[in-house]
Copies of this chain bind each other. A is one copy, B any other.
Amino acid sequence: MIEDRKLEVLRAIVEDYVSTNEPVGSKALVERHRLGVSPATIRNDMAALEDEGYITQPHTSAGRVPTDKGYRLFVDKLSTVKPLSAPERRAIEGFLGGAVGLDDVVNRTVRLLAQLTRQVAVVQYPSLSRSAVRHLELVGLSDTRVMVVLITDSGRVEQRIVELPGVLREDDLSDLRTRFNARISGHLLSEAPTLLADLPEAVAPDERANVTAVLATVLETLVEHVDERVVMAGTANLARGTALDFPGSIRPVLEALEEHVVLLRLFGEAGDQDVHVSIGGENPHEGLHTASVVSTGYGAEGLTSYASLGIVGPTRMDYPGAIGAVRAVARYVGHILAESS
């Protein structure tokens, strides 16, 4: 009974604070929401909520502001995801539908997400290790130089140039190409090391050195190499709110965003399919203690996700809207990448 109303009060506080950006008091609360009780009653509830650590007051005679813990409860129990409006959906479809090529898809996605949420958007390129090999091509540039080109099912293309220890004839190259593709085509790149392990032994002894060199490049640079490509957009949104949003300065936030490794670890926490929300102090990185991260994996439907995308903003954030936008965009991107395969 009273518990229910307390939660209702917390929700009202979060919603009001997010929309007004000002600490919210008991009187304003009963005016803006039909709570059916008097301000004094609300005050008691608020005192209890404060004791339990869900809200706090900046100064003695100010209204209340949600704490990280308060936002956490709100996100987990009190909010329902805000679905995008029909025009918004159409806008997404139109904007992402016009993309040609992976780079274009990723770039449009990140800008779209930044615009929809009015926060900083971050999109990770489809992870190599979680993609499947569509085709591996070996191109002889000269007698002793071979270019390795890898095409994945997510549309990503990577290439490296290998200096060979010896001369490799064109027909041996062709043979090698066939062997490579027979083993790994259609398989996840992360399985490549196992699938290719015995390759050197399968070829003629005099070719073994060359094969080993090519294989080493493929494995080292394409598989083991941590692919940390991320794109970002909307950093200007950080400077939008008032000083309340990022007490001190937005500098540590910008610094954290520039360390892509930090972002990747952040996203690493995101569960494969559902949206993950990390609030304020929950973030591992010090610089993001004043920020929240809403992220999710994206990829072809039902399958393991290619990679992650999400947004970063102040803890005072429209979580239902952000979660809805992140989820919707992730789905569309997944569809588009799956279709264009």
**Chain A residues proximal to chain B, CB less than 8 Å:** 101, 135, 137, 139, 141, 147, 149, 151, 157, 159-160, 233-236, 238-240, 249-252, 254-255, 258
Contacts and interface: CB of A to CB of B under 8 A. Distances in A.
Contacts of A157: 159
Nearest to A111: B258
Contacts of A137: 139, 141, 147
A134 to B, nearest CB: 9
- Give the number of times this chain occurs in the complex, counting copies: 2
Contacts of A254: 235-236, 238-239
A249 B235 CA distance: 13
A236 to B, nearest CB: 4
B249 A239 contact: yes
Contacts of A235: 235, 254, 258
A290 to B, nearest CB: 13
Contacts of A249: 239
A101 B254 CA distance: 27
A263 to B, nearest CB: 14
Nearest to A103: B229
Given A135-B141, A139-B137, A149-B149, A239 B258 contact: no
Q: Which of A234, A252, A255, A258 has the most CB of B within 10 A?
A: A258
* A-B interface, 4 closest residue pairs, ranked by CB to CB distance from nearest: A236-B254, A239-B251, A236-B255, A137-B139
A149 B159 contact: yes
Contacts of A251: 236, 239-240
Contacts of A258: 233-236
Nearest to A252: B236
Contacts of A233: 258
